[in-house]
A = this chain, B = another copy of it.
Amino acid sequence: MESATQAERSKQQLMAAIAPEVEKIEQVMRHDLQETLAGADPLLVEILDYGIFNGGKRLRPLLVVLASRLCGFSSDSIYGLAIAFEYLHAATLFHDDVIDRADMRRGKPSVNKQFGEVAAILGGDFLHSRSMLLVGKYVGARGLTIFCNATNAMVDGEFLQLRNARNSNLSIDDYYSVVRGKTALLLAATCEIGALAAGATSRQQEVLQQYGLGLGTAFQIIDDLLDYQGDAGKTGKAVGNDFQEEKMTLPLILALQNAGDEERKRLLFLLEDEEARKNGFEEASALIAKNNGFSLSRSQAEELVADALAGLESFSDASSLPFVTILHALASYVLSREK
């Protein structure tokens, strides 16, 4: 038997620590859907069951719970709010997979593939609506404003990404704008609303919002790295998707900035020429590595996480300790994850 690496042991420790919360989140979601969908069309029930209970990590609701606990909130009512973020996340995935015409999601057919586009659009709308109702119910207009700013930023981020597609001059700032809108602001809202529900001070809300923002941005950078360097057996998707779609992600942007004229031209050719691209992934990866695209991307993710964690130092009393520890472990996991 091989000995587990430190990262694996840390991950197992983290998973054990959060398992009861994840279990509770699953339960509350099942119960809420059962109640909400009483009398609904059986196909809608089937789609939501299929699309939601698929082994997701429940990172978003977990962050809501942890942020609220860190701010001293002990009520079970937090789970009712937390699941809103999983619903919204699922709604986004339903619609994204329609938009990207994606056939697979987490190793099984996507909702649009399994049930059709119409079902995916409508199922997403249903969850979107339910998520906003829950946010309004638990944290009122202030919570809704934070939530909608995040969802509207997601839409805006999608448009920005469409606009940026195949723009090989994309700047690092443009990349971060898209990541902020598409991923990070929702994680920030997740933490901020958890704190809001707990009646935290605005300083505490701000610190947690910044934690979410940093964590979310790092999460996306690692995602972009895995698309080049991941193990398909672990990630469940082939490497090179972003490259084949000419998506300008951070490793590529940084490599293009750092490369000399010749290598830059070669990398652009491999990216932009349809024939060259088909077999060019290995060579492009090597050029990105040589020009530090991967290592610099990872450094940026690490810096973002370090900044996010530094803010948590303001939670220094004994009762905060277990939750700060889990938020640290989550951040480490985001950096070391292989899928």
> CB-CB contacts of A150-179 with B at 8 A, as 1s and 0s?
011001101110110000000000000000
Q: Given A125-B128, A129-B148, A132-B132, are A43 and B162 neighbors across the interface (CB < 8 Å)?
A: yes
Whether the pair B141, A44 counts as a contact (CB closer than 8 A) is: no
Complex: A267 Cα to B95 Cα, angstroms: 39
CB distance from A201 to the nearest CB of B (A): 23
Q: Which B residues are CB-close (under 8 A) to A125?
A: 95, 124, 128, 151, 155
A109 within 8 A of B: no
A276 within 8 A of B: no
A255 within 8 A of B: no
A residues lining the B interface (CB < 8 Å): 36, 40-41, 43-44, 95, 98-99, 117-119, 121-126, 128-130, 132-133, 135-137, 140-141, 144-145, 147-148, 151-152, 155-156, 158-160, 162-163
Can you offer 29 A-B residue contacts whose CB atoms are under 8 A? Answer: A36-B152, A41-B159, A41-B160, A43-B159, A44-B156, A44-B159, A95-B121, A95-B122, A99-B117, A99-B122, A118-B158, A119-B159, A121-B121, A122-B155, A123-B155, A124-B125, A125-B128, A126-B156, A129-B132, A129-B151, A129-B152, A132-B136, A132-B148, A133-B147, A136-B140, A136-B144, A137-B141, A137-B144, A137-B145
